[in-house]
C-alpha cells in the first residue's frame, strides 16, 4: 500500500503545474441510455440554448429578424445567390421567433413564393419546402386556402425518385405538418397519405453505412404517413391497416433508423386502431412481438454497440405496449417552467417532426407560438416574467463592489510607522 501511494505521489510531482489544461471538447458525458428501470416515463430536454443549430455561422439573429422584410424581398431576387441567401435568412428568423403578425401581413407573398418550388432546383426547392412548414406552424388555419398548390408540388417531388433524397425528406416532413395544422379536405389528406406511402414503400435502402439519405427518407415518410393518417378518411385508414405486414418487414432493415421508425409506426398503428376499434389486435401480433424481442436482444457482431443500445432502449417500451402489458411510452419535455407530456405515439411522432423542422428553436416556439401550444395542449402563452439578471453578471457586479470596498478601506486604514 505504501509503495502504491509513493508511486502516485511521484506521478503527480512530475506534472507541470503551470501548464493550463486544454478544455474538454468531446461529447457531453451522460449516463447510459438503456437503463434497466421498468419506469416507462423518461425525460427529455429541448435545447433552449442551442441557437447555434439555427444560426449556423450567422452572428446576430436580431439583425435577421429586424431585416425580415428586406430578406423576404431578397428571397425573390433574380440573382440565384441573393435569392438563396434571402430564403435562408427568412427561414432562420421564422425558426427562432414566433412572428404571426408578420406572416399574416405577408402570407399571400410567402405562399406565392413557395408555390414555385416545383420549378426550382433542388437546393432552392428544399428551402421553399422548409418555408411552407415554418409558415404553417406560425399561422395554422389562416393559410388553409393557400396551401393546395404547395402541397401538390411537395407530393410530386416526394414521389419523384430522380429528385434529391434530402429534398424529398424535407417535403415529407413539411407535408405532414401542413396537413395536420392547415388541411381539412379529405381528398387532399388522402393524396398526401398516398404520396408518403409511395416514398417509404418504394425507396430502396442499401446496407451501406453511407446510405443515410435513403434511410432518413424512409423513416421520415413513415412518420409523415402516421401523422396524416390521424386526419384521414375511413378508406385511407383501412389501407393503412392493410399495409401493416409490409411495415413489419422493415424491422429487418440493415439501417437502424429504418428499424426504429418501423417499430414506432407499429406502436402508432396499435394505439390508433385500439382507439378506433377497442379490443383490436394485430392478426400477426405474436410474430411482431417475436421480431421486436429479437431486436431487443440483438447480439449481432455486424451492428455497433451504440446501435444495439439505441435499439434496445427504443424497442423496450414498444414491446410492453403492443403486448398490452403497459400503456403507451411517455416522454416528458421541459419547456421553460412547464412540462410537456408526450403521452401518445401520435403526439410523440409529431413532436419529433416539429423538432426536425425547427431545430434548436423549438423550445422558444413552444413558449410563444400559439399554434404549437394549442397542438400540444400547453394552454395560452404565459405572461413574460420579469427578466432575471444573469448569474455571471451578478457575480461580476458583486466582485467589482467587493474590490471597490477593499480599496476604500485600504485608503482609510491608519498606516503604522515602521520601527527600526
End-to-end CA distance of the chain: 54
Tell me the β-bridge partners of 101: none
Give pTM, 2 decimals.
0.78
Cα(169)–Cα(163) distance, rounded to whole angstroms? 10
Scan for cell 434497466, then name that residue. Answer: 36
Residues 127-175: tens digit of each pLDDT = 999 999 999 999 999 999 999 999 999 999 999 999 999 999 999 999 9
Scan for cell 385500439, then name that residue. Answer: 274
DSSP state of 339: E
Name the strand (E) or helix (H) holding 342: strand 338-342
Gyration radius from the chain CA atoms: 27
User: Per residue, what are the HEC states of 263-296?
Assistant: HHHHHHHHHHHHHHCCCCCCCCHHHHHHHHHHHH
Q: According to the model, what pLDDT value does residue 43 have?
A: 34
> For residue 291, what are the CA distances in angstroms to 40, 222, 315?
21, 19, 10
Q: According to the model, what pLDDT value does residue 59 have?
A: 58
Cα(173)–Cα(171) distance, rounded to whole angstroms? 5
Cα(399)–Cα(325) distance, rounded to whole angstroms? 58
Cα(293)–Cα(341) distance, rounded to whole angstroms? 27
In sequence order, which residues have a C-beta less than 8 Å from that of residue 74 and are 6 or more positions away? 82, 83, 85, 86, 89
pLDDT mean for each 10 residues of the chain (420 residues): 41 42 38 39 38 54 76 93 94 89 91 93 96 95 93 97 96 97 93 97 82 92 97 93 96 93 96 89 94 89 85 91 86 86 94 92 88 91 58 68 75 54
**To 10 degrees, what angle do helices 122-139 and 80-96 make?**
30
Cα(136)–Cα(144) distance, rounded to whole angstroms? 9
Q: According to the model, what pLDDT value does residue 208 have?
A: 74
Cα(21)–Cα(331) distance, rounded to whole angstroms? 38
Cα(261)–Cα(243) distance, rounded to whole angstroms? 15
Tell me the β-bridge partners of 335: 338
Tell me the β-bridge partners of 44: 333
Cα(34)–Cα(365) distance, rounded to whole angstroms? 30
Structure-block grid coordinates of residue 344: 401518445
Whether 199 contacts 221, CB under 8 Å: yes
Scan for cell 427578466, then name that residue. Answer: 387
Residues 236-252: tens digit of each pLDDT = 999 999 999 999 999 99
Distance of CA 396 to the CA centre of its chain: 36
Tell me the β-bridge partners of 339: 334
Cα(83)–Cα(152) distance, rounded to whole angstroms? 23
Q: According to the model, what pLDDT value does residue 1 have?
A: 44
Please compute, for residue 81, the number of CA atoms within 13 A of its CA located in the half-sphere on the CB side.
0
Please choose, from the candidates 284, 297, 307, 359, the residue with its C-alpha nearest in 3D space to the C-alpha of residue 96.
359
Amino acid at each position: 500500500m505504501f509503495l502504491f501511494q509513493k508511486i502516485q505521489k511521484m506521478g503527480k510531482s512530475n506534472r507541470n503545474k503551470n501548464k493550463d489544461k486544454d478544455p474538454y471538447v468531446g461529447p457531453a458525458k451522460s449516463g447510459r441510455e438503456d437503463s434497466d428501470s421498468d419506469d416507462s416515463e423518461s425525460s427529455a430536454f429541448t435545447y433552449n440554448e442551442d441557437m447555434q443549430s439555427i444560426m449556423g455561422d450567422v452572428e446576430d439573429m436580431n439583425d435577421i429578424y429586424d431585416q425580415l422584410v428586406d430578406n423576404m424581398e431578397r428571397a425573390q431576387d433574380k440573382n440565384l445567390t441573393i435569392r438563396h441567401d434571402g430564403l435562408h435568412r427568412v427561414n432562420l428568423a421564422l425558426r427562432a421567433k414566433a412572428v404571426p403578425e408578420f406572416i399574416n401581413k405577408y402570407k399571400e407573398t410567402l405562399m406565392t413564393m413557395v408555390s414555385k418550388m416545383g420549378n426550382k432546383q433542388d437546393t432552392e426547392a428544399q428551402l421553399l419546402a422548409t418555408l411552407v412548414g415554418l409558415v404553417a406552424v406560425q399561422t395554422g388555419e389562416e393559410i388553409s386556402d393557400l396551401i393546395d398548390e404547395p402541397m401538390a408540388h411537395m407530393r410530386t417531388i416526394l414521389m419523384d425518385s430522380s429528385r434529391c433524397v434530402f429534398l424529398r425528406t424535407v417535403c415529407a416532413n413539411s407535408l405532414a405538418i401542413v396537413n395536420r395544422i392547415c388541411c381539412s379536405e379529405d381528398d387532399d389528406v388522402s393524396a398526401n397519405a398516398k404520396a408518403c406511402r409511395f416514398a417509404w414503400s418504394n425507396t430502396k435502402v442499401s446496407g451501406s453505412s453511407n446510405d443515410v439519405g435513403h434511410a432518413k427518407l424512409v423513416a421520415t415518410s413513415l412518420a409523415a404517413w402516421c401523422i396524416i393518417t390521424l386526419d384521414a378518411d375511413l378508406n385511407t385508414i383501412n389501407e393503412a391497416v392493410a399495409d401493416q405486414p409490409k411495415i413489419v418487414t422493415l424491422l429487418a432493415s440493415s439501417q437502424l433508423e429504418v428499424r426504429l421508425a418501423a417499430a414506432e409506426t407499429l406502436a402508432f398503428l396499435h394505439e390508433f386502431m385500439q382507439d378506433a376499434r377497442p379490443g383490436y389486435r394485430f392478426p400477426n401480433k405474436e410474430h411482431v412481438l417475436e421480431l421486436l424481442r429479437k431486436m431487443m436482444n440483438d447480439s449481432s457482431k455486424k451492428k455497433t454497440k451504440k446501435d444495439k443500445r439505441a435499439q434496445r432502449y427504443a424497442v423496450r417500451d414498444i414491446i410492453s405496449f403492443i403486448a398490452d402489458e403497459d400503456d403507451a411510452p411517455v416522454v416528458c419535455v421541459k419547456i421553460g417552467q412547464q412540462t410537456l407530456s408526450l403521452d401518445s405515439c401520435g403526439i410523440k411522432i409529431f413532436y419529433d417532426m416539429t423538432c426536425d423542422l425547427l431545430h434548436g428553436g423549438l423550445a422558444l416556439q413552444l413558449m410563444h407560438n400559439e399554434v404549437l401550444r394549442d397542438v400540444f395542449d400547453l394552454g395560452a402563452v404565459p405572461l413574460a416574467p420579469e427578466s432575471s439578471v444573469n448569474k455571471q453578471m451578478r457575480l461580476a457586479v458583486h466582485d467589482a463592489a467587493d474590490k471597490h470596498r477593499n480599496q476604500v478601506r485600504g485608503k482609510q486604514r491608519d498606516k503604522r510607522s515602521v520601527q527600526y
